[in-house]
Amino acid sequence: MEQVSANRSHGGTQGVYKHSSSATGTEMTFSVFVPDHAPGTKLPVLWYLSGLTCTHANVTEKGELRAACAQHGIIFVAPDTSPRGEGVADDPDGAYDFGLGAGFYVNATQEPFARHYRMRDYIEQDLPALIAEEFPVDMDRQGITGHSMGGHGALTIALRNPGRFKSTSAFSPIVAPMQCPWGHKALGGYLGPDRNAWAEYDACALIDNGARLPDLLVDQGEADNFLGEQLKTHLLQEACTRAGQPATIRMQPGYDHSYYFISTFMADHIAWHATRLKQ
């Protein structure tokens, strides 16, 4: 692991790091905020997965997370959204919603993406092993959250790994990629036409098939221009109601899809996670 930068902020250290990933076969960059703490203390960790076109930098620079993480004593980890570098396949038309910056947190099976696009393994195995080795984290107290495509990642990773995360939340998540254009393009392109393979990357399908979380918090802006066609928050509400899955799904009037929205409710989410991570 190589440190790219480190800055003091809110009684803690905001670092950016890079390492060679065995999952993606590429160099990956991520950020970590570590609050000040007593020597030998291990802190809970909150994973944040970003959305389409983003890197680790978007939430690190615009998420307004550090004051709340310092207050509650939580380490905040923000990985990249896809592999990058020479030889990494991209959308042939240069579209923003597939390829670089749009890994969708899946393990691709289709060429030319199968070699590097293994973001599921990266988030579930590779990066956690590194974080546990290099930072003072208590891996028995993990929470996960994310935005848009990253909200999809947070929900599906938590649902597929019962017991790993004590808390799960999301901002404007893609809740049913099997039922929206972004999902059709990504899952079809990375996994091929077999929709049975898509189901493990669809939060609503996972809930319908029996996956459960201890609790769930979702915030969604009512003025989000992606709400009707791509995000379809009502489908998650309906799936949770059918399954008896505890969930607080808040529709926020006037808010859009941007980091103005995310940063407004970030402290609420961190406090919500803190309550569950400290139990």
Sorted by sequence, the CB contacts under 8 Å of residue 182 that are 6+ apart come out as 52, 97, 149, 174, 230
Residue type, 56: H
Task: Please report the DSSP string for 32-93 in residue order.
Answer: EEEE---TT--EEEEEEE--TT--THHHHHHS--HHHHHHHT-EEEEE-SS--STT----TT
Our CA dihedral for 32, 36, 41, 42, rounded to 10 degrees, sits at -20
Could you give the residue numbers annotated as active site? Answer: 148, 224, 257
CA separation, residue 100 to residues 85, 137, 154, 225, 270 (Å): 9, 30, 19, 23, 29
Our CA dihedral for 70, 71, 74, 77, rounded to 10 degrees, sits at -50
- Tell which phi-psi region holds residue 91, choosing left (phi > 0), alpha (psi between -120 and 50) or beta: beta
